[in-house]
Amino acid sequence: MQFAENLTNRQAAGAVLPPTDLPRETLKEAVSEIVDYAELCVSVAGRLSNLAPIPLKTIELLEYGL
C-alpha cells in the first residue's frame, strides 16, 4: 500500500498524473497491486452473490419499507 500513500502525497502536492518520474520497478509494483486488488474484488463479489439472504427479524428498517 506504499504506492497509494505516495499517490496521495503527490496529489496533495499538485503533481501531474500519470507521474513521469517514477522508477520502473515502482510502477511495476503499483500495477501488480492494482491487478491483485481487482482480482480480489472479483472473487469477493462472486462469493457475495452466492450468499443466501438473511432475514432481519429483530431490526426495523422503516426507511426501506414499501
The whole model's pTM is what? 0.53
Judged against a pLDDT cut of 80, whether residue 63 lies above it is answered with no
pLDDT the model gives residue 65 = 60
pLDDT tens per residue across span 16-53: 666 677 888 988 898 999 999 999 999 999 999 999 98
pLDDT of residue 24: 86
Q: For residue 2, what are the CA distances in angstroms to 36, 48, 56, 62?
A: 15, 28, 40, 42
3, 30 Cβ separation under 8 angstroms: yes
Burial 48-65 (b: 16+ CB within 10 A, else e): eeeeeeeeeeeeeeeeee
CA distance 29 to 19: 14
